Amino acid sequence: MERIFLDNAATTPLDPEVLEAMTQVMRNDFGNPSSIHAEGRKARNLIEGARKTVANVLNCSIGEIFFTSGGTEANNMALKNAVRDLGVRRIISSPLEHHCVLHSLDAIRATGAARVEMVRIDEVGHVDLADLRRLLEQSDEKTLVSLMHANNEIGNLLPLQEVADLCTETGAYFHCDTVQTMGYYPIDLERTRVSFLSGSAHKFYGPKGIGFIYINNDNHIKPYLDGGAQERNMRGGTENLYGIVGLARALDKAVREREERQRRMEDVREYLIERLRATYPGVNFNGDPEHGHYKVLSVSFPESPKGDLLLMNLDMAGISASGGSACSSGIDVGSHVVGHLHPDSKRHTIRFSFSHHNTREQVDYVVERLGGML
């Protein structure tokens, strides 16, 4: 059997149609988008067409979309610029956020420019909305709430509309990392009021190294990267033209095929849950799999002498999965999310994350091979 890729929360394979669109741009459209001659104008039109695609998906203005190098830059930009330019003096977040958010908060805290408070997380990893309200109502300081839409390690979903409404009610800014949900769940920014929102193409079958940030028109911030006048003076540097075109093509296709893709992933995920429960009675599922992202399943197996080699043995069997986030320079250091929820556990955790390319036959193979590894 060919290798089975079950690490789609880390990245997704580049869609062939996206690759073809990018290749055409590389081959034919080499102009600098800042140039005023014909080649430059054509490149500029491609970028603005891509911006319109993203804005249409999110139901927002094209003037609120800015292309970045990915989700990490977008999240850094939102957090640090809110403090620097919007007068934010308090940030409310959670200990389960992606490391690019947590490390940005560490950097902000170290400067003394703003203080950081963590909202309570319940026993399965959901944000305690009552505690969030309490935190928001206890201070008149200018506050930013930063919470991800879906956790990248256990898949728990944030009730986006409820949090957005609560922030609006209490006058707080709201930044949402939607890297794991962009293209998978509908987001209507006309209805759901968000201050900042981030996305990254390689999570929805687009290229790596390109993402975007949505900045609500009410928020006037200065550039995060100084340079030329690109991205309407918001991000210096010659635009990644073929990456931007690839992002837009991938997002457009993800939205058009969303329901069919979701059906396939839900079927494979539920089948894996069913097979694991039937085959390995001691298995546990982290987070709240009944109300989580259909792309992610975090599985904990009982402690065993072979457990520390589980990921390596899966890899040798042709199965790609992870034990935690894939953002540690290729070194799996375990999940800070699972560690927070189960600090004393010695169980062995694997994150399986799915694409619409996965099949039930692949699940059967994975469950069978696990038998000799536990």
Residue 234: pLDDT over 60:
yes
Instruction: Tell me how crowded residue 367 is: count the other CB atoms within 10 A of its CB.
Output: 17
CB distance 350 to 322 below 8 Å: yes
**Which pLDDT belongs to residue 328?**
42
pLDDT category of residue 333 using cuts at 50, 70 and 90: low
* Pair 301, 307: CB distance under 8 Å: yes
Look up the CATH number of the domain holding residue 284: 3.90.1150.10
Q: What is the pLDDT of residue 326?
A: 43
Residue 234 sits in the same domain as residue 150:
yes
With pLDDT > 90 as the criterion, what percentage of the chain qualifies? 87
Given a cut of 70, is residue 329 above it in pLDDT?
no
Task: Give the span between the Cα atoms of 107 and 292, in whole angstroms.
Answer: 30
CA–CA separation, 326 and 192 (whole Å): 30
Q: Are 100 and 131 part of one and the same domain?
A: yes
Pair (164, 288) in one structural domain: no
Q: What is the mean pLDDT of residues 201-215?
A: 98
**pTM of the full structure:** 0.94
Reported as a pLDDT band with limits 50, 70 and 90, residue 306 is: confident
Which domain-ending residue is among 256, 286, 316? Answer: 256
292 and 303 inside one domain: yes
* Mean pLDDT computed over 85-91: 98
Q: What is the mean pLDDT of residues 285-295?
A: 96
Mean local confidence (pLDDT), 301-306 = 82
Per-residue model confidence as pLDDT tens digits over 144-187: 999 999 999 999 999 999 999 999 999 999 999 999 999 999 99
Tell me: do 235 and 352 sit in the same domain. Answer: no
SS3 category, 215: strand
* C-alpha span between 71 and 246 (Å, rounded): 16
Smallest Cα–Cα separation from 204: which of 225, 179, 234? 179
In order, the DSSP letters of 321-333 are -BSS-S-STT---
Does the structure show a pLDDT above 90 at 60? yes
Helices (H), 160-307: 160-170, 230-233, 241-256, 258-279
Would strands 65-68 and 211-215 be described as parallel, antiparallel, or unpaired? antiparallel
Q: What is the mean pLDDT of residues 95-116?
A: 97
Consecutive H or E run containing 54: helix 38-58
In this structure, the answer to whether residues 247 and 276 fall within a common structural domain is: no
Q: Are residues 252 and 338 in the same domain?
A: no
Closest CA to 70 of 329, 244, 253: 244
By annotation, the residues acting in catalysis are 327
Residue 49 sits in a domain of what CATH number?
3.40.640.10
pLDDT digits (tens, 9 = 90+) for 258-273: 999 999 999 999 999 9
**Do 216 and 342 belong to one domain?**
no
**Shared-domain flag, residues 284 and 217:** no
What is the number of domains present in the chain?
2
Last residue of a domain, one of 208, 224, 256: 256
Q: Percentage of the chain surpassing pLDDT 70?
A: 97
One domain for residues 287 and 173: no
Instruction: Answer yes or no: are the C-beta atoms of 203 and 11 closer than 8 Å.
Output: yes
Q: Are residues 81 and 207 in the same domain?
A: yes
- Which residues constitute the domain of residue 180? 16-256
**8-45 tens-digit pLDDT:** 999 999 999 999 999 999 999 999 999 999 999 999 99
| 310 and 272 fall within a common domain | yes
Residues forming beta bridges with residue 92, ordered by sequence position? 117, 145
